[in-house]
């Protein structure tokens, strides 16, 4: 059986497609409030200002919309694992969205507790590990969120994580070269 995890994660691209214009146009400002409500633990923010209700709702909606749109295509449906295909987009789409949004929170929490500011990194062995993990942290969130409909094999989780991390790092480097980012990673 060929690896189906990359196809399963394809609707996740709906998250940045939906979120990008909202961020650049500062749309829905009333929702641009921190998910952690400003709460702290040990004197440090739980998630920080960059994890907002706006981001969670817009990215989640983008993922669900992409799931529904892609599921209309037999080309896409035929590449999904059977249990996911059978669940349908209105069941797996919200689970993917939950995994995307929720999968980023543990890493943000850890970085805030280590005193690493949003968008920054430390170039220590542990810091580099966090940088790599940050590129694909949502893959583990998706794996967990999909458990009610699909138990993704570990080899597929590892492949998906490596693929997403490599693509994300490549996009970051291209963004840096174009002047859209202030750092390559």
pLDDT at 145: 97
Instruction: Confirm whether 78 is domain-assigned.
Output: yes
Instruction: Confirm whether 185 is domain-assigned.
Output: no
Q: What angle do CA 16, 21, 23 make, to 5 degrees?
A: 85
Under 8 Å between Cβ of 113 and 59: no
Residue 54 φ/ψ, nearest 5 degrees:
-60, -50
**What is the domain range of residue 63?**
5-177
How far apart CA 158 and CA 72 sit, in angstroms, is 28
Per the structure, how many domains does the chain have?
A: 1
pLDDT at 122: 76
Instruction: Confirm whether 85 is domain-assigned.
Output: yes
Instruction: Confirm whether 140 is domain-assigned.
Output: yes
Tens place of pLDDT per residue across the chain (185 aa): 455 777 899 999 999 999 999 999 999 999 999 999 999 999 999 999 999 999 999 999 999 999 999 999 999 999 999 999 999 999 999 999 999 999 999 999 999 999 888 777 777 887 778 888 888 999 999 999 999 999 999 999 999 999 999 988 888 888 778 877 777 77
Structure tokens at 11: 């609707």
Instruction: Confirm whether 183 is domain-assigned.
Output: no
Per residue in 66-107, pLDDT tens?
Answer: 999 999 999 999 999 999 999 999 999 999 999 999 999 999
Instruction: Confirm whether 94 is domain-assigned.
Output: yes
pLDDT at 2: 56
Instruction: Confirm whether 165 is domain-assigned.
Output: yes
Instruction: Confirm whether 134 is domain-assigned.
Output: yes
Residue that is written with structure tokens 């430390």 in the block: 122
pLDDT at 1: 43
SS (H, E, C) the chain: CCCCHHHHHHHHHHHHHHHHHHHHCCCCHHHCCECCCCCEECCEECCCCCCEHHHHHHHHHHHHHHHHHHHCCHHHHCCCCHHHHHHCHHHHHHHHHHHHHHHHHHHHHHHHHCCCCCCCCCCCHHHHHHHHHHHHHHHHHHHHHCCCCCCCCHHHHHHHHHHHHHHHHHHHHHHHHCCCCCCCC
């Amino acid at each position: 059986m060929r690896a189906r995890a990359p196809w399963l994660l394809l609707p996740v691209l709906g998250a940045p497609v939906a979120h990008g214009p909202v961020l650049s146009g500062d749309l829905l400002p009333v929702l641009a409030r921190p998910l952690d409500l400003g709460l702290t633990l040990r004197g440090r923010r739980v998630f920080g200002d960059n994890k907002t209700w706006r981001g969670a709702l817009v990215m989640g909606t983008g993922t669900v919309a992409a799931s529904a749109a892609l599921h209309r295509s037999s080309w896409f449906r035929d590449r999904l694992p059977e249990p996911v295909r059978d669940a349908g987009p209105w069941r797996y789409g919200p689970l993917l969205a939950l995994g995307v949004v929720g999968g980023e929170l543990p890493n943000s929490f850890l970085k805030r507790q280590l005193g690493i500011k949003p968008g920054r990194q430390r170039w220590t062995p542990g810091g580099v590990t966090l940088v790599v993990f940050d590129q694909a942290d949502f893959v583990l969130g998706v794996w967990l969120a999909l458990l009610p409909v699909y138990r993704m094999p570990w080899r597929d989780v590892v492949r998906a994580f490596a693929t997403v991390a490599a693509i994300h790092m490549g996009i970051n480097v291209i963004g840096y070269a174009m002047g859209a980012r202030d750092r390559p990673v």
